[in-house]
Amino acid sequence: MRFDLKVPFAEKDDAKKLGARWDAASKLWYVVDKADMAPFAKWNPTPRDASTPSAAAPAKRPAAKVEMESAGVLCIGSKYVESPRVCDCLPWDVCDKCRATALSV
């Protein structure tokens, strides 16, 4: 049976030494038919122990990102609102007509 692993790049050599294989199409490490999965436990993508920090609480976002969102600079997901186009120029070109609505660089 195949078991997918979440191996950080810095630890890829350790996983490979233990017998893990790289799946280039899925871009992840995996093991197949291992009787003892204990050496691979730290790379389990779904931790079973709820006392670990990664499983107990979601990671907090950096303060800088939150500040940018509240300032209206960064819009992600459901907070995204597309601005109406005021001209037919390319998005990376700024003409006189759309200069007022263009983002400052």
Confidence grade of residue 72 (pLDDT, cut at 50, 70, 90): low
Residue 54: per-residue pLDDT:
44
Residue 16: per-residue pLDDT:
92
Residue 95: per-residue pLDDT:
83
pLDDT tens-digit readout, 31-48: 988 888 888 888 887 755
Could you give the C-alpha distances from 87 to 92, 100, 105, in angstroms and in order? 12, 12, 19
pLDDT over 60 (residue 105): no
Neighbouring-strand partners of residue 2: 32
Residue 20: per-residue pLDDT:
92
Average pLDDT over the chain, rounded to whole?
74
Cβ-based neighbours of 94, under 8 Å, separated by 6 or more = 102
Residue boundaries of the structural domains of the chain: 2-49
